[in-house]
Amino acid sequence: MDDIEQQVRAPTGSDPRVLQNAAVLSVQEVMTGDEATAKDARVRAAEAVARAPYISVKQARSQIGQHGKTYRENISAAKQQGITAMQAATAAVSAGAILALVALALGALASWFGGTIGTKRRCVVQTETLPRTI
């Protein structure tokens, strides 16, 4: 969005800052507004951009269209990067969960072995009493 704002502000020459700000705000409204008001916002943005650098409304509409295309491409690229990052994070978390499961199973097995080896066995000794003979 900053790149588009710089492009709108750049060719204004010696026009007052009010025209620059109006042009920038109109272009931002086109880029970030909803589709219901987009047509009206495009017309206002084209008029504001056309007044600022003294270009024709047709050229301004063309510039607004180009700015909109650039904005949508940047948003699409950002979404794709976000999706890629989320997929990588999901893969890392699932691999970590699997390793944690293996570690837990090995720990349980080791504790079972340690418990069986380290305990004393009870020996049952049967004694038999024999009668004494003298």
- Residue 128 maps to a domain: no
Closest CA to 31 of 80, 61, 62, 75: 75
pLDDT, residue 63, reads 79
- Residue 18 maps to a domain: yes
Q: Residue type at 78?
A: A
pLDDT, residue 2, reads 61
Query: For 44-93, what is each residue's pLDDT tens digit?
Result: 777 776 765 667 778 877 877 788 788 889 889 999 999 999 999 999 99
Residues composing the chain: 134
- Residue 127 maps to a domain: no
- Residue 117 maps to a domain: no
pLDDT, residue 47, reads 73
Q: Cβ distance 31 to 71 under 8 Å?
A: yes
- Residue 123 maps to a domain: no
- Residue 126 maps to a domain: no
pLDDT, residue 1, reads 57
Stretch 97-123: mean pLDDT: 89
Residue 94 has pLDDT above 90, yes or no: yes
- Residue 6 maps to a domain: yes
- Output the pTM of the full model: 0.53
Strand, coil or helix: what is 28?
A: helix
The number of domains in the chain is 1
Name the residue range of residue 28's domain.
Answer: 2-105
For residues 74 and 130, which has the higher predicted lDDT (pLDDT)?
74
- Distance between CA atoms of 79 and 77, rounded to whole angstroms? 5
- Residue 87 maps to a domain: yes
Residue 49's CB is within 10 A of a number of other CB atoms, namely: 28
Average pLDDT, the chain: 78
